[in-house]
């Protein structure tokens, strides 16, 4: 915890014109004194709304909030990074909320957080709440942006997350809070999956379809698009298959079935059904989202699915039954950088 001097004894003329300063004299910026004890470098910087009092001292985060953050980092497997984590506040005056500040106040105040970031040179910045997000990115609406790199501050990725206080008061938010921290560290500092080899191809003729037989021995994820929700009268438009070949290699194919823009070659449906049965009747793992929907349509097409069926919607319910569980939701939780594709 970073303990700072009594703000009532400090003076910072660079705050002139700020209504917060005018309302709270002599309680104003402690930026200059924060800099004295701040390290020259850190890997991760967590930014709260403003400084607060705990045990008669000023700190950007309470001891409980810091413990929550450090627990999330440790649970994610990054305990070795704890020594390079630092904490500060977007607004250097104590107990300031977003609603307390005008646009002009924020414009005046940004110079202070800029100095902090310039001094400690983090590789990743977490903004904890709406006010720090506005101060660093001039964007608002944290609930629609949390968990994603929404901007870069002087080239440094900025990721909004829940305010730790909100997580302490509402523990059901702890799962997403921890997950957002883990995802961002993996994406920015560890650069997870950067070396993955991904191939995608459209299967639009029978020769290409026959060429897929070599992949039928791999575990496969399945997704279908249909003309409607009634498996008795509606039809499958396309089927997407993603084969896990190991060694970070994925091979994904899209097969048009009854797509209105696809001209079927002679015998196409028979060949597609035969191929899909070769894929689905073996004992590899099949991964689907809301499997009961896809399985009804596949059965109506004449395809039988055997082996282990893993349903990501059920898996997510077992992890946290309170969270939304659509495919779009899960992409947001686990692959926030890809959220715009669904």
Instruction: Please give the Cα distance from 66 to 54 (Å, whole number).
Output: 12
* Residue-wise DSSP of 84-109: GEEEEEEEEEET--GGG--HHHHHHH
pLDDT averaged over 10-residue windows placed end to end, the chain, 342 residues: 50 71 56 56 92 86 95 92 92 84 87 90 94 91 85 92 94 92 90 65 91 88 96 96 82 94 94 94 92 95 93 93 87 73 52
Q: What is the pLDDT of residue 38?
A: 64
The CATH homologous superfamily for domain 7-190 is: Uracil-DNA glycosylase-like domain (3.40.470.10)
Nearest to 48 by CA among 119, 118, 130: 130
Our CA angle for 242, 198, 270, nearest 5°, is 35
User: Is residue 210 within 8 Å of 279, Cβ to Cβ?
Assistant: no
E strands present in the chain: 44-54, 57-59, 85-94, 124-128, 151-153, 156-161, 197-202, 219-226, 236-244, 249-256, 286-288, 309-311
Which pTM was predicted?
Answer: 0.69
Q: Which CATH class is domain 197-341?
A: alpha beta
Q: List the domain boundaries for the chain.
A: 7-190, 197-341
DSSP 285: -
Matching CATH topology for 7-190 and 197-341? no
Instruction: Please give the Cα distance from 179 to 158 (Å, whole number).
Output: 16
Q: What is the pLDDT of residue 8?
A: 46
């Amino acid at each position: 915890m970073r303990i700072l001097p009594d703000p009532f004894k400090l003076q910072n003329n660079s705050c002139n014109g700020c209504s917060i300063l005018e309302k709270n004299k002599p309680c104003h910026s402690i930026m200059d004194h924060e800099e004295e004890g701040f390290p020259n470098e850190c890997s991760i910087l967590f930014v709260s709304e403003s400084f607060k009092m705990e045990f008669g001292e000023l700190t950007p985060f309470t001891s409980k909030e810091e413990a929550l953050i450090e627990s999330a980092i440790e649970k994610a497997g990054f305990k070795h990074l704890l020594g390079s984590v630092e904490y500060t506040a977007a607004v250097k005056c104590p107990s300031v909320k977003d609603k307390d500040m005008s646009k002009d106040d924020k414009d005046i105040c940004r110079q202070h957080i800029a100095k902090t970031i310039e001094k400690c040179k983090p590789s990743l910045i977490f903004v904890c709440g709406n006010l720090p997000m506005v101060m660093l990115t001039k964007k608002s609406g944290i609930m629609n942006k949390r968990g994603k790199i929404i901007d870069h501050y002087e080239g440094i990725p900025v990721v909004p997350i829940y305010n730790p206080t909100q997580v302490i008061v509402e523990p059901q938010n702890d799962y997403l809070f921890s997950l957002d921290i883990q995802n961002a560290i993996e994406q920015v500092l560890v650069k997870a999956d950067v070396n993955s080899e991904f191939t995608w191809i459209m299967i639009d003729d029978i020769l290409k379809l026959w060429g897929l037989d070599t992949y039928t021995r791999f575990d496969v994820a399945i997704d279908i698009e249909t003309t409607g929700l009634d498996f008795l009268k509606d039809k499958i438009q396309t089927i997407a298959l993603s084969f896990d070949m190991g060694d970070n290699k994925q091979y994904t194919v899209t097969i048009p079935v009854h797509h209105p823009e696809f001209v079927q070659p002679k015998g196409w449906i028979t060949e597609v059904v035969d191929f899909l049965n070769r894929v689905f009747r073996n004992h590899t793992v099949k991964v689907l989202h809301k499997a009961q929907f896809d399985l009804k349509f596949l059965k109506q097409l004449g395809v039988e699915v055997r082996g282990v069926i893993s349903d990501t919607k059920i898996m997510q319910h077992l992890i946290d039954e309170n969270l939304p569980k659509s495919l779009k939701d899960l992409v947001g939780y686990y692959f926030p950088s890809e959220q715009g594709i669904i």
